[in-house]
Structures are given as C-alpha cells and as structure tokens.
Amino acid sequence: MNFSLKQKLWTFFVLIILLILLKSYAFFVSGRNDNDSLKINNLLISAKKQSTEFNFNESIFLSKKALRASENQSYRIGIIKSNYQIAFDLCNLGSYDESIKYINILEKSYGDYIQDDFQLNIDLADLKGRNFLAQGFKKRAKEEFRKELGLAYLYKDSEKKYQAAIHAYTNLSASCETDSAYFYMKKILSFRDKVKDKKAFYITYINISDYYYKERKVNIDSALYYNSKGIQLAEENNSTYMYIAILQKAELLFLQKKYHESLQYTLKGIRLSKERNRSEEVLLSYKLLADNYRELGDYKLQSKFLDKYSKMNDSIFNARQTGIQASADVIFNEQDQNKKSQRTSSLWYIISSIFIICAIGLGLFFYFKKNKKPIENSDSVVENKSETELPNVSYEEIIALAKGNSSDFLFRFKEIYPSFFEKLYEIEPELITSELTFCAYLKLQFSTKEIASYTFVTPKAVQNRKNRIRKKLNIPSNMDIYTWIGRL
C-alpha cells in the first residue's frame, strides 16, 4: 500500500507525540514512587496498630486513606494490604457483608498476587472463615478453616507451624458441634510441649471452660479450673483479652450463687471491655449486673442496668455503621480539599495528555473515518443493556442493605417499591417506621431466622412481631403472612 505525503507526515507526527507521552509519564512516575509508597506503608502500619488496640473505626479510616493514595499512585501492594485491613476491621465490627465485598475485590482483581503470597493465603482463609461463621454458614466456614490448617503445616519453622495450627484448630472448634469442638480443643492442648509461646492456649482454656458449664452443664468445678488457668496465662502475658476470662469468671460465680463476688468480677470486666472498645461484652455485662442485683434484692439497680442493656442492645449495631460511615465522610472531605493542590502539581501532565489526545483524534479522523458509526451503535447497545439490568442491580442493592441492617434500607426500598407502602398505609395509616421496615423484610421473603440474624434479635422476638403485624393489618389467621404481604 502506497501512502501519500500527507499520510506519512501524520503518521510521523502521531509517533513523536506518543514518544513524548511515554517519556513524560516515566518522568512523572519515577519522582514519586519511593516517597509515596513510604507514606502509604506508614499509614498501613498505623492502621494495624489501631486495629490491634481494638480501635477498628480509626483503623478503617487510615486504611481507606492508604487505599485511595495507593489507587491514585497505582501502588499494587498498597491496594492489596489496604483492602485486607479494611476487610479485617469490618469483620471485627460485625459488618460481615461489607467485609466479604473487600475480600472479593482482592480475590477477583489480585488473585495472581495472592497465590504467590503464602501468608496472605492463610490470612484470607482465616478471615473468610470468620465471616462465614458469624453469618451462620458453618459448612463454608469449616472449608476455609481446613484450608487454613492445611497451609499451616507448610510452614518450615516449627514454632510458626504449630502456632498457625493452634489458631486453625481454635477456629474449627468454634464451627463444630459440641463433641467435635471438644476434640479440637484437646488437640490444641496436645501442642503445649511443641511451642515456646503459650499465649495461644488462653482462648482454648476459656473455650473448654465454656464447654463444661454451657454445653454439658454438669461440671462447674472443671469449668472453674480451666477458667483459672486462662486467667493465670493472661496475667503472665499481660493479655489484651483478659476481659473474656474475667467475665466468664463472673458468670461462673453467679451460677454458684456467689453474687457479691460475681458483681466484683463483672464490674472489672466492664472496665476492661470499655478500655478495649468491646461493646458486645459491655452489653452482656449489663445483663449480668442486672441478674446479680435481682438475686440480691436490689430491684432499683436491676432496673437501671436492664435499661442500659435494652438501650445499648437497640443502638450498638447502628452505632457501628455510623462510625464506619463517619470514616468514609472524613476521607471524601479530605479528598475534596486536596483536589486543588493535586491539579496544580499535575497540570503540565494533563495539558500534554489533552494535546496528544487531540492529535491522535485528528489522525484517526483521516485513517478511520468509516468506523465512526459502528462505534456509536456499540455505545448504544451498552447503554441499553445497563438500563435493562437496572432492576436486578436495585434488587441486589436492597438485599445487601437489608442484610447489613443499614439505616438506608427503608429509604431505598421506598424508592424501588413505592406502591407497597401506599397499600400498607391504606390498610393501616398508623404504621410506624420499625413496622414498615419489618413488612419490607417480609416482602423480600426473609425467613424468621434470617430476620433475627440481620436485625440482631432472637427468632422468638421476630415471631412475636409477626403476630403483632398480623393483628394490626387484620391478616386472616388461616393465611400465610408471606403470601398476604407478597400480594400487596
């Protein structure tokens, strides 16, 4: 094919511009890599420290800041570490669906890196298992924990091998029925002579104590024995998890009807739990305090702590979500404030890029004029496809909001199913927000057990609410409530 002089000049011009682009980009990247990666790594070190100290919201804030910086700089390792830390902290906060989302990002986008990183493989198996277990998917949890156990035995260092195995067996014991769990706990104790660091046995002693007084309910003495071993080990190692053993001791003393002693341990457990931001343990402690005061005949203090328990139980999980959102808001605000300085520092790069794009566009105009129509048709197909898929995306969104007990759930549900609430108000205009939310869960066909899990109440409480809704909406007793709600 013979080219005209004009075509040759255009080809030469485009090649020169591309060469300038490559040179300028290399110069732009080389000047910031070391400095920026160091800042990102320092952010992640700080995030991990906050996480270790149970400041999970602060850790998420720092990790998201590191993630955004890593994405801006295309720093792959920073992106991977940030996603993992966020997933880890969300799991500890009880936001399991959100945690899984970040894990999925890692596995889908960086699977090749994960396969080559032995430690990250173990950490992800552990984290996925914990998420599945917390959501009630014990079979999936066991699969991950068995994977973790198999990887643990690949460590060459003996201490690391058995420590990792102890951790995996501890997770497996939590995902099994009573007898199997006891087998795994005894398996862990068989490693006592194989490791130098004994801290890992602390949780095992506590779990065996639980087994003797919660599962078997026959041997308080054995429960106290293992609890004492746990407390002793925690004191020797200045364990950050001391509050678990202290509150367990308080429960055991309560069962022995030693209410004054139980009160002392409960108050100490609350103090330690608050220091570690362990809201669930504080919540349970309020209930134990109320029970002790009831047995001691102090009904005024019983009422006081029952009220604390009730209020905290209603707000604890919403508070978690608020804290996470607050971290996100701070990050986005910070990004807005930094936009101007970022634009200034890279202005020359943007101008050169625009110039190059225009030059290439003119070149394409001469050489590929005929391809313009097919490209427009392709865009149209993509746009139509997105519109077609919108309902499915919306449905998946409200399902995710429902499972996460998000405060945005009801608002989003009303946007997607406006007629549903109009029909409900026609039947009963006095429905309150919590009742509307519950009806929305029924509309989505969630079972009693699922609603209980997502809203952090007991299945019995869900069933009682169903009965109240049935009565308030005059649903016939011989009609299935899901069928009736589904027809609205």
Q: What angle separates helix 448-455 from helix 459-472, to the nearest 10 degrees?
A: 110
Range of the domain at 452: 379-486
What does the pLDDT read at residue 377? 38
What does the pLDDT read at residue 346? 53
| 423 pLDDT above the threshold of 60 | yes
Q: Is residue 258 part of a domain?
A: no
| 93 pLDDT above the threshold of 70 | yes
Average pLDDT over residues 116-124: 90
More confident residue, 335 or 175: 175
Helix, coil or strand: residue 150? helix
C-alpha 27/C-alpha 25 separation (Å) is: 5
What does the pLDDT read at residue 412? 82
Average pLDDT over residues 170-174: 89
Print the SS3 string covering the chain: CCCCHHHHHHHHHHHHHHHHHHHHHHHHHHCCHHHHHHHHHHHHHHHHHHHHCCCHHHHHHHHHHHHHHHHHCCCHHHHHHHHHHHHHHHHHHCCHHHHHHHHHHHHHHCHHHHHHCHHHHHHHHHHHHHHHHHCCCHHHHHHHHHHHHHHHCCCCCHHHHHHHHHHHHHHHHHCCCHHHHHHHHHHHHCCCCCCCCCCCHHHHHHHHHHHHHHHCCCCHHHHHHHHHHHHHHHHHCCCCCHHHHHHHHHHHHHHCCCHHHHHHHHHHHHHHHHHCCCHHHHHHHHHHHHHHHHHCCCHHHHHHHHHHHHHHHHHHHHHHHHHHHHHHHHHHHHHHHHHHHHHHHCHHHHHHHHHHHHHHHHHHHHHCHHHHHHHHHHHHHHHHHHHHHHHHHHHHHHHHHHHCCCCCHHHHHHHHCHHHHHHHHHHCCCCCHHHHHHHHHHHCCCCHHHHHHHHCCCHHHHHHHHHHHHHHCCCCCCCCHHHHHHCC
What does the pLDDT read at residue 96? 85
Task: Please write down the long-range contacts of 241-246, taking CB distance under 8 Å and 24 or more positions apart.
Answer: 241/202, 241/203, 242/272, 243/269, 243/272, 243/273, 243/276, 243/278, 243/281, 244/203, 244/206, 244/281, 245/202, 245/205, 245/206, 246/272
What does the pLDDT read at residue 266? 95
Query: For the chain, how many structural domains are there in total?
Result: 1
What does the pLDDT read at residue 7? 61
What does the pLDDT read at residue 113? 84
Percent over 90 (pLDDT), the chain: 33
C-alpha 83/C-alpha 60 separation (Å) is: 10
What does the pLDDT read at residue 78? 93
pTM: 0.54
Tens of pLDDT along 379-418? 333 333 333 333 454 677 888 888 888 877 888 888 888 8
| 48 pLDDT above the threshold of 90 | yes
| 47 pLDDT above the threshold of 90 | yes
Give the Å distances, CA to CA, from 479 to 247, 306, 461: 46, 37, 21
More confident residue, 180 or 373: 180
Read off the tokens for 177: 């029925």
When pLDDT is cut at 50, 70 and 90, the band that residue 367 belongs to is low
Tens of pLDDT along 290-313? 999 999 999 999 999 988 888 887
Q: Is residue 442 part of a domain?
A: yes
What does the pLDDT read at residue 322? 44
Q: Is residue 436 part of a domain?
A: yes
Average pLDDT over residues 362-381: 46
Tens of pLDDT along 180-220? 788 888 889 888 889 998 888 988 999 889 888 776 556 78
Q: Is residue 446 part of a domain?
A: yes
Q: Is residue 98 part of a domain?
A: no
Q: Is residue 427 part of a domain?
A: yes
C-alpha 209/C-alpha 304 separation (Å) is: 30
What does the pLDDT read at residue 102? 93
Q: Is residue 171 part of a domain?
A: no
C-alpha 151/C-alpha 385 separation (Å) is: 43
C-alpha 51/C-alpha 483 separation (Å) is: 46
More confident residue, 23 or 225: 225
Read off the tokens for 70: 């890593």
C-alpha 449/C-alpha 462 separation (Å) is: 8
What does residue 476 show for φ and ψ, rounded to 5 degrees?
Answer: -55, 140
When pLDDT is cut at 50, 70 and 90, the band that residue 33 belongs to is low
| 25 pLDDT above the threshold of 90 | no
Contact 478, 410 (CB under 8 A): no
Most confident of 33-37, 106-110, 474-478: 106-110
Q: Is residue 290 part of a domain?
A: no
Contact 122, 166 (CB under 8 A): no
| 40 pLDDT above the threshold of 80 | yes
Least-confidence region, from 151-160, 383-392, 409-418, 473-482: 383-392
What does the pLDDT read at residue 374? 41
* Mean pLDDT over each residue of the chain, to the nearest integer: 80
